[in-house]
Amino acid sequence: MNIQDMEQMNGQFMEHVGKVIVGKEHTMELMLTAIIASGHVLLEDVPGTGKTMLAKSMASSLDCTFQRIQFTPDLLPSDLTGIHFYNQKSGDFEFRPGPLFANLVLADEINRATPRTQSSLLECMEERQISIDGSTRQLERPFIVIATQNPIDNQGTFPLPEAQMDRFMMKIRMGYPTDEESVEILRRTVASRSVNDLSSIISREQLLRAQETYKTVNINEDLLLYIVQLTEATRKHSELSLGVSPRGAQALLKASQAWAALHGRDYVVPDDIKLLAEPVLAHRLVFRNRIRQQEGLAELIIQQILTETEVPTETLTTGGR
């Protein structure tokens, strides 16, 4: 697979998922970018905006094993990871894998589970492995978690800890549709179009090749420094007690490479980084005043930092192309 193949894949994927999802092209491109970069995605918005349908549509378009987990307050860690049980016929203990042993995992309403259950995702999201009863089991590639959550001020929700938020490559808000999109949604409702109408168009082997191909995208040293300057600015911001971690900087690098590849380029430009900075970095910020965490100021701070940080010139970053 080459860069041109990835650009073609992007177009086919957007058209295919667009048969069910109205609008949200930018959101879908961001999600595909994260999947290509082996990153996890957190979709956040109020109920009824299509978070679960979008996640299921993306999964249906990929020929990978898929599991959906409905997170509830009584969900236990073993319900996710699996258990050892005694088989009376064989007279031995056997392992029954949980739903996390899949290529694509939809963690629906993830913040309705207790912190203890949420913490069971930490190891598998970062290291692609699960430790159970003293033994470690590797997860098959690709392994991607697509989580949905309602705003954390809703009743019956538990805020995700910073360590888990940092493991999501992107946090994306759906937003309400426009009037024209709302009318089209109603038309498709009458026509009974659903996610069940979608077939897979990208095989597991194609996805694995794409996850290797994007790594060949070139990024200039000045753009690496640009990423460092952006993340360092969050650590020095007066309103923040916790800025972007090195993991966050790596996520921005990988996402920028994947975005460039999906748009037919074998090099990253500053606009790639600027476009992805908000969905990749904003959810990693922790305010000194926790009350302000709810007010959407993280995105404003990222935009402020982008404005104040000098951008490398395009001629310099693309090698004069």
The Cα 43–Cα 57 span in angstroms is: 14
Residues 78 and 150 in one domain: yes
Residue 139 lies in a domain: yes
Residue 196 lies in a domain: no
Question: How many domains in the chain?
Answer: 2
Residues 132 and 74 in one domain: yes
The residue segments making up the domain with residue 117 are 1-175+208-213
CATH code for the domain in which residue 302 is found: 1.10.8.80
Residues 4 and 128 in one domain: yes
Q: What is the pLDDT of residues 241-279, one digit of tens each?
A: 888 999 999 999 999 999 999 999 999 999 999 999 999
Instruction: Report which of 161, 187, 197 is spatially closest to residue 53, judged by C-alpha positions.
Output: 197
CATH code for the domain in which residue 44 is found: 3.40.50.300
Q: What is the dihedral of CA 167, 40, 113, 287, to 10 degrees?
A: 40
Residue 193 lies in a domain: no
Residue 189 lies in a domain: no
Residue 106 lies in a domain: yes
Residue 313 lies in a domain: yes
Residues 149 and 9 in one domain: yes
Residue 184 lies in a domain: no
The Cα 33–Cα 18 span in angstroms is: 16
Q: Retrieve residue 257's tokens.
A: 């490479």
Residues 34 and 132 in one domain: yes
- The per-residue pLDDT for 191 is 73
Residues 134 and 238 in one domain: no
Residues 147 and 43 in one domain: yes
Residues 14 and 158 in one domain: yes
In the listed set 187, 213, 239, which residue is the last one of a domain according to the structure? 213
119: Cβ contacts below 8 Å, ≥ 6 apart: 77, 161, 164
- The per-residue pLDDT for 294 is 54
- The per-residue pLDDT for 144 is 94
In the listed set 213, 242, 271, which residue is the last one of a domain according to the structure? 213
Residues 152 and 253 in one domain: no
- The per-residue pLDDT for 321 is 47
The Cα 201–Cα 16 span in angstroms is: 8
Q: Which residues of the chain have pLDDT under 50?
A: 316-317, 319-321
In the listed set 183, 213, 243, which residue is the last one of a domain according to the structure? 213
Residue 2 lies in a domain: yes
Is residue 131 helix, strand or coil?
strand
The Cα 202–Cα 112 span in angstroms is: 32
Residues 231 and 137 in one domain: no
- The per-residue pLDDT for 314 is 59
- The per-residue pLDDT for 320 is 46
Q: What is the pLDDT of residues 117-127, one digit of tens each?
A: 888 898 899 99
